Structure 1
C-alpha cells in the first residue's frame, strides 16, 4: 500500500533576524558553488590553449568535477541524517577552498584536474546541505525558503558564464579559482548563526558507500565519455551494492525508501524534467553560436536576463508552494516548460533579442520545478531519512543533466530536412534544433501525465485505506 509519510519534528527556535542571516548565508555559498561549475565551462577553451591539450583531454576539467560532485551530493546527504550540518559544511567548504587555492597555483594540467576534484568534493556539500536547511529549520516557511534557494541556483547558472568570460578574458582563467576561494569567509558565520545540533544515532555503511560511489562514478563516466566498459562496471558495482543492501542490518540506502510512492514518483518526474531543462540549457549556447553567430560574451548576455527573471520569480514559487501546495507548483513548471520549448522551436533563426525574450519563459520554470520537487521530497520522507532522500534527489538531478547534454549533443551531430513544427522559422541546420525543442516539449507533456496519474493513484489509496 502506498501512503504519504508524515513529517515529524519541531522547527528550531530561531528569531526572524537569525532566519534572515541563515538564508543569506546558505544562498551566498550556494551562489559560489553553482557559479564555480558554469564559470569553468566557459574557460575550457582557454585552459586547453594554455596546456596545448586536445578537447578529449581538457574535458576532464568538467568531467572530473561532475563525477565527484554527483557522488558527494549523495554522501553528504546521508551524513546529514547523523552529523550536525555546520560541521559537514565546515568540512565541505574547507575542501572547496583548498581545491581553489591549489588550482590558482597549479603548475600543470594534472594539478588543475586534481584541484577541480578537490573543489567538487567540497562544493557538493553545499548543494546537498542547503536543501536540507529549509526542511530542518524552516518548517512553516519551507516552500518560501526553497524558492529563494532555487532562485539562487538559477541566478548563479546565468551569471556564471558572464563572470567567467569576463574574468578569463580580462585577467586569466586561473583567477576563476581565486573567486571560488572567497567562500572561506563564510565558515565563521556558519558557526555563529547555525543552530547547535547533537550527533544523532546511526552509523554509515562505509563498504556500501564505497560500492555505490564506484557504481555512480562509472555510470557518470559512461554518460560523459560513452565508454561501454564503464557501463558494465557500473552495473556490476550496482549489483554488489544491491547484495550488500539486503545482507546488512544497516544499509547505506534502505531498500524500502523507493517503495515510498510520493518519493519514487517525484524522483522519476524530477529526473525527466531536469533532463529536459539541462538539455535546453546545453543547446542554447550552441544554437546562439551556430545560428545567430554570437561569441561567448554575447551568448552570456543573451541568457543573463532569463537568469535574472528566474531569480526574481523564485520567491513567488516558494510562496505559491506554501499557499497552494507543491504539486500545483510542479504543474506550473511543466506548463512553462512546454510553452518555452515550443516557442524556442518556433522562433529559431529570429533576431537575438527575440530569442532572449523567449528563453525567459523556459528559465522561470526552473525555480518552480526545483521548489516543488524539493518540497515534495521533504514532505514524503520521515525526518531521519530526509538527508539521504535529498542526496538521492540531487544525485538523480546531476545524472539527468549529464544524460540530457550527452543525448542532445549526439542528436545535434545529424541534420534533418523534416520540420516537425509547421510554424517554425527554422532553416538548414536550425531545423534540427527546432525538432529537438519540440521533442523536449512532448517529453514534458508525457512527464506531466505520468506525474498526475501517479499522484492520483496515491491519493486514491489514501482516501480508501487511511493509516
Structure 2
C-alpha cells in the first residue's frame, strides 16, 4: 500500500473522540512552545541583571533560540515525510523538557544559553508537526483544525508576556523554565493517542541538511548582528545546498518543489504578510514604552485583548477556509491588515486604550493569514511532500519575522517629521512610528496585488 493510501486509511479510522484528543494534545504543547519564546523575551533584562551582561551578550538567550527553532522547524518537517509523528513528537518533547529542567538549575549564563538551545531543538518539533497533523489526520477538515492551531498560537503570543512578566517579577526568571518543563506530562498521552504509523520509504540527505542549516543560521546571524561575514558565508552555503540538491538522487528538498507555482506564490505572499505582522509585534512594545510611557506589565495588558480576540476568531477563520476556500480568506486577511495598520498609524500618540482597541482588527488578521496560507500549501502539494513543504513555510515565517524586526529597528533609528498619513494625530517622535504603519499598508496592498495576479494567471 502506498504512503498516501496508508495516510488516508489512518485518517478515516480515527473516531471523533480520538480526533478531539489529538487536537487537545497538540494545542496543549503548542501553547507551551509559543509561550516559551514570548516569556523569555520579557525576561531578558532580568537575565542580564543576574549575570551583569551587556545587551549584545544577553541577546544570545533569544538569538540562539531563534536560530535552532527555525532550523528545527525545517528539519522536523522533512523528517515527518519519512518517520512516524509519534516518534518525532516524543523526541522533541523529551528535548524540550530536558532543556527546561537543565535551565532551571543552570548556574552560569553559558549553561542558560545551552539550556535554551536544547529547548529550541525540542520545541521546534511542536511547531513543525502542529501544521502537519491537520493534513495527516484531518484531511477533510484541515481548515478548521488549522484555525484551532492558529488560535492557540495567537492566545499563547498574547498570554506569554503577561505570564512571563508576572512570574519573573513575583518569583525569578529561572521559574520560567519550570513552566515549559510541564510538557513532559503530555509524553505518555502522545504514546497512547497518536495513531501508530510505519516508517515510510526514503532517507534524509545529511550533507544537504548541514548545508541548509549553516546557510540559515548565518543568515539569521547577519539579520540580528549585521556582520557582513555572516551573509557571505550564508550565500556560499546556500550555493552549496543548491548544488547538492541538483546532483543527488535523494535531495533534502526536491528542486521541483520550487517549480510548483501556487506553492511558490503562497510562500512569497506569506513571507511579506508575516513580516508585517511580526513587525507589528516588534514595534508595538517600543511604541507603547516610548510614546505612551507604559511599563512591561501594562504593555502586555494592552496587547492582551487583541490576542484574545484573535484566538477566538481563529476557529471562524478555519471554518471559513473550509467553506469558501483559502484564497478568499487570504484576501480577508489582507483587508483586515490594511484597515488595522491604517488605524494604528492614524491614532499613534493617542491613549493606550484606543491603541489597544484598534489593535484588535490587526490581530484578527493573524489567524486568517496563517490558516489560509497553511491550508493552501496542503492543497497544492502532493501529500508525501507536505512535511517538507510545511517545514519551508515555517522556516520562511521565522526569517520574515527576523527581517521585519531588523528593518524596523533601522528605520526607528532615524527621526522623521514628515507625516505620510495626513489624518495622523502623531507629533514629534511619534511620527516615525505612524509612518512605519503607512509602509505596512503599502506593502500589504502590493502583496495582495501580487497574490491576486499570480493566482489569476494560474
TM-score by length of structure 2 reads: 0.98
What's the RMSD between the two structures over aligned residues?
A: 0.8
- Pair 1:16-2:20 in alignment: no
Aligned ranges 1:386-405 → 2 under 5 Å: 386-405=386-405
- Pair 1:172-2:172 in alignment: yes
Query: How many residues in Structure 1 have an aligned counterpart in Structure 2?
Result: 452
Aligned twin of 2:71: 71
Task: Return the offset for 1:12.
Answer: 3.7
- Structure 1 runs of 4+ with >2 Å offset: none
Aligned twin of 1:158: 158
1:384-418 CA-to-partner distances (Å, cap 9, x unmatched) read: 10000000000000000001001101100111010
Task: Return the offset for 1:292.
Answer: 0.4
**Structure 1 gap ranges (5+):** 1-6, 459-467
**Structure 2 gap ranges (5+):** none
Task: Return the offset for 1:382.
Answer: 0.3
Aligned twin of 2:420: 420
- Pair 1:362-2:362 in alignment: yes
Aligned twin of 2:259: 259
Which of 423-432 and 10-19 deviates more? Answer: 10-19
Aligned twin of 2:200: 200
| SS, match of residue 279 in structure 1 | helix
Aligned ranges 1:64-463 → 2 under 5 Å: 64-458=64-458
Question: 1-side partners of 2:314 and 2:188: how far apart?
Answer: 28
Task: Return the offset for 1:246.
Answer: 1.0
Question: Are the equivalent residues in 2 in contact too, given 1:138–1:145 (CA < 8 A)?
Answer: yes
Question: Are the equivalent residues in 2 in contact too, given 1:12–1:195 (CA < 8 A)?
Answer: no
Question: 2-side partners of 1:244 and 1:281: how far apart?
Answer: 37
Question: 2-side partners of 1:224 and 1:376: how far apart?
Answer: 31
Question: 1-side partners of 2:443 and 2:348: how far apart?
Answer: 20
TM-score by length of structure 1 reads: 0.96
Question: Are the equivalent residues in 2 in contact too, given 1:81–1:387 (CA < 8 A)?
Answer: yes
| SS, match of residue 82 in structure 1 | coil
Task: Return the offset for 1:247.
Answer: 1.1
1:177-225 CA-to-partner distances (Å, cap 9, x unmatched) read: 0000000001111111111100000000001101110111111111111
Aligned ranges 1:38-53 → 2 under 5 Å: 38-53=38-53
| SS, match of residue 141 in structure 1 | helix
Task: Return the offset for 1:140.
Answer: 1.2
